Structures are given as C-alpha cells and as structure tokens.
Amino acid sequence: MDTLNRILIKYFKRDLEKVTGVQIDSSKVEKGDLFFAINGGNNYINDALERGASLIIGDNRSLINDDKVIKVENTIEILQELAKIYIKNLKVKVIGITGSEGKTTTKDIIFSVLSEKYRCIKTQGNYNNQIGLPFTIFSLRDEDQVAILEMGMSSFGEIERLCEIAKPDFAVITNIGDSHLEFLINRENVFKAKTELLKYVLEENVIIYGDDFYLQNLNGIKVGQDNNNNYIISDVISTFAGVNFSLNNEKYSIPLNGIHNCLNSSFAIVMGKLLNLNIKEIQKGLSNIKLTNMRFEKIYKSDKIYINDAYNASPVSMKASIDTFRDLPTEMDKLMFLGDMLELGENEIAYHKDILDYCLKMKDIKVFIYGERMKKALDILRTDKIKYISDKEEMIKIIQPLKEVIILLKGSRGMKLEEIII
C-alpha cells in the first residue's frame, strides 16, 4: 500500500508508521492496519491499539492521547476524502453499478467475467453506502486494474456523493423499481436519485436496461429483449442448472436461473466487450460465476432443496423470484414461503396484495406467508389458497415431515427467512 502511505503522510503532514491494511471494525484489526473509529468507534480505539494498529483516525471527542491516534472533526468525512484521493492516484478503471434490483448479482457476474483478463476487486457483501464504498476502495492495491463498485442509496444526493468519491469510468443501471419508496415516495424520484450517476460517466460507457419504462429514453448502451435495444436478448432456454440464451445472436450459458439473470449477465457481456474481452473469455467468466449468498442460492438438505433468495425483496424482485421458481423444471413438489417487503411507504399493503394476487395464479405451488404486511394483504383477499404462518417454528414444523420438495424463501432482509432452513 505504498500509494496510500504516501497520501497519508502528505495529507496529515507528518511522519507515520507504515499502514498495511484498513479496517472500520476494531475486532478485525491486525498489526499494521489503519483503523477508522466511526459511529462510536472511539470506544474501540484502545482495542485497536492492542491489536497492533499502526494508525487510528478518531474524532475530537476521544480522550486517548497516543502518537498513533489522529483526531479529526468528522471521521466519516475523512474516510471519504482519503478514499477519494486514494482511488484518484491509482491506475484503475472504476465501474459504478446502481439500480433498484440486481445490483449485487450484476456486480458478481461482471467481476467473474472481467477477472478472466484483469486483476479486479468488487464490493463485498452490502458495503455499498457512504461508509461501505470508501472502505471497499481501500481494499484496492497498486497492481489492481478494475474496481467494480455497487452504489446503493435511500435518498437524493447519496449516489452523487458516491460518484464524487469513486469517479466511475463506466456505469450500469439495472432498473428502476419500488425499493426505498418509504423515503422517495414514487418511482420518478427513484429514477432521479439513481441517475445522479450519469453526469459522471460518458454516455458511450453507460449500460442501461433498455426495456425499463424510465430508462429507455436515456442515452447509453441499451440491453434488453425489445428490438430497439443495442444488445438484444433472445432464444432463452431454462434448465434446472441454469439458462442458455443469445445476445445479438451470440450464444451464452450461465449457471443461474431466471430470465432476469440473462439480463444481469448481458450487462457483464457488454462490459467485457467494452474492456476488450473476447467471446471465449466472457463465456469462461460466465461459467465461473460465484454469487453472493442468498441470491436464489440452492441449498441441498437430504430430500429437500431450499432456494434461499431471502437477502432482500421488492415487488419487482419478488415477482422475478416467483417466476423463476415456477419455471424450474423439476418433478419435486414446490412450496413458497414469502415474507414482508420493507421500505415501500404508504402503499405497502397494496404492493403486498398485488404479490398475493400474483401467487393465486400459480398452479401446483403451495404458498405460505409471514409478516404483518403480508397478513394485512391476505385479510383483504380472504382466500384459503394462501396460508399465513405467524412464527418460524410453525414453518419448520410444516417442512420437517415433507420429502422430495423444493422450497422458495423470499422476503426482505429484516424477515430473516433463511432461519427456517433445517
């Protein structure tokens, strides 16, 4: 981390011990790390020192006086500013990915494809906000060539701030959906917030979902199934193991289920072409995809298969998950356990009712729901084709005696439906 050490010495105008890594969690600090004491982190400065931190940046309220501790007015602002300076001094191409759904999966696929030719890093887990993105930037090393950064938000100005820090060279906007309506009220505002990214990236380096109502009139490289797109998805064939499809008549296969993953993979194919990968390299990257956990993840338990898609949920992603599950070619009996979708604002019950209406069209699939919003929606529908379950222990009791079944778990993160996997 020679570049970072030069930046730190210049920024703080003093000689400092050499930094070998960066942490924001004191329990993960190792000898030589720089520890940012954010969000109450002053309480853990002594812990970081004992673990061998070579430098600590805390705020002015800290009572600890040590040559290794630098006190600042706002630790998060310094984290962001140093990350901004750091990435600017690296020879790295930056890809910013945003959208209401599919960000993480698209990030994972792009990483898999581009890693066939370049040394890449990507956002880990859900580190996609005002703290997580700069922290991810500090995982870059001088020899890295591509940074694939997920950009999340819940309100106006947040994407813009992330772009100010990371200065993306390329952008992917996956779609405009109903996530964060609790804060942004409607999709028009989601569109405005997500597209703050566009003023930082040349339109020839912007990849967008061309079938999306809000994105279709933007300038950029459009990907989708409609014929007016620059890259057209066609000839989709689903199997239990994944999907085969064509993009502008070039054939590809992915070890993922769902037509929505043809779209996510197509974003990666186009990005690969922009960065001069050939078809063979791209397909090899697609074949080696390793998704972040809880994204339609198949978990095998004796005579049961769980589809753990329980990381998060919105109306769009819920329907996509249901469709993908419905279309899985299998002789096994199918059950769905669906939890509440959070952060949908004042119309949240209407969104849940719409999902339950959608479920009523499913044939030969038993549907169970969990959560107060789902229950309120079911009370409106008054149907006995969908069963409300009040607690997870009851869900487990339903599942335990079953054999040769495949079970979909889908809900927002706060519902933690993965806890019923036995």
Q: What percent of the chain has pLDDT over 90?
A: 91
* 363 pLDDT higher than 90: no
- Domain membership flag for residue 172: yes
Nearest Cα neighbor of 234 from 267, 262, 269, 254 is 262
In sequence order, what are the residues at sequence separation of 6 or more whose Cβ sits closer than 8 angstroms to the Cβ of residue 15? 9
3-state secondary structure 227-247: CCCCEEEEEEEECCCCEEEEE
* 181 pLDDT higher than 80: no
**Cα–Cα distances in angstroms (integers) from residue 270 to residues 110, 132, 168, 188, 233, in the given order:** 9, 26, 17, 27, 12
Model confidence at 7, pLDDT cuts 50, 70, 90, reads very high
> Helix (H, G, I), strand (E, B), or coil: what is residue 410?
strand
Number of domains, the chain: 3
- Residue 65 and residue 120 in one domain: no
Residue-level pLDDT at 422? 85
* 180 pLDDT higher than 80: no
- Domain membership flag for residue 21: yes
* 223 pLDDT higher than 90: yes
CATH at 41 = 3.40.1390.10
* 184 pLDDT higher than 90: no
- Domain membership flag for residue 80: no
- Residue 104 and residue 27 in one domain: no
Question: 71 — phi, psi (to 5°)?
Answer: -100, 135
Could you read off the pLDDT of 72-90 as tens digits, one per residue? 999 999 999 999 999 999 9
CA atoms within 13 A on the CB side of 368: 20
* 215 pLDDT higher than 90: yes
Residues 337 and 322: beta-carbon distance below 8 Å: no
Q: To which H or E segment does residue 71 belong? A: strand 69-72
- Domain membership flag for residue 78: no
Model confidence at 126, pLDDT cuts 50, 70, 90, reads confident
Neighbouring C-beta atoms of residue 239, cutoff 10 Å = 12
- Domain membership flag for residue 292: no
Nearest Cα neighbor of 408 from 375, 374, 369 is 369
Residues 291 and 264: beta-carbon distance below 8 Å: no
* 341 pLDDT higher than 90: yes
- Residue 126 and residue 236 in one domain: yes
Residue 405: which domain range? 297-420
* 251 pLDDT higher than 80: yes
Residue-level pLDDT at 169? 98
Q: What percent of the chain has pLDDT over 70?
A: 100
- Residue 60 and residue 123 in one domain: no
- pTM here is 0.91
* 115 pLDDT higher than 90: yes
Residue-level pLDDT at 238? 93
* 182 pLDDT higher than 80: no
- Residue 66 and residue 102 in one domain: no
